[in-house]
Structure 1
Amino acid sequence: MYMHNQKTSEADVQALRRAGGQWLKALRNKRNLSQRELATAVGAEYYTFISQLENGRGRIPPDRYNQWAEALGVPVWTLVFNIMRFYDPVTFEILFGKDGEYANQAERFEILS
């Protein structure tokens, strides 16, 4: 079974996820949403799921990215960019550079058909 090892220490992974949770919390607070209101807006069964995310435990399901972006008032690209930054730093760095410096350079990507 593949374990998705990011070659990052467990402490570093947890720190990144907590930072991601704080980023989500800041977006929620900016929209003046309670955890319960956000849970309803994104179709989460339990509002405690929002608390778990904000504390660095759990991930937003990819099939819900559009709902989350709309509820938090950000473009879906911004949401996914930041989720990748916090939860998949290896892929993020390959695509966008260590600090996201390639984010606006779409010409770097060759589209294969």
Structure 2
Amino acid sequence: MCRRPKFPVFLNHLSSRVITYGDCIPSLVLESPGQGGVALLSNEQKAKPLLTNREREVFELLVLDKTTREIAQQLFISEKTVRNHISNVMQKLNVKGRSQAVVELVRLGELKI
């Protein structure tokens, strides 16, 4: 059951804008600094990033055609750790290979080539 706040909620102590809510609070409310308005983020937009920082680093190097050994040397980790990061991402994406993972990450906007 949703509860309505009994008082207005201030978004930012430096802001003079006050937001009051309806019966439910379905999403996060943020002040949009560029336009002076309010932006609503859905639950999908609040989700954590798909990749960890290290997984992102590994895949950025993979896209640059680096081998597992070269990635390991550059990131100061073992080759097994590199393979584990790649495997974890493949599992998250439910794909069967590195190239499929790269294609899917690009499609999702998680990786740029």
Return the structure number with greater helix share.
Answer: 1
The TM-score with structure 1 as length reference comes to 0.28
Higher relative contact order (Cα pairs below 8 Å, separated by 6+ residues): 1
The TM-score with structure 2 as length reference comes to 0.28
Return the structure number with greater strand share.
Answer: 2
Which has the higher Rg, Structure 1 or Structure 2?
2
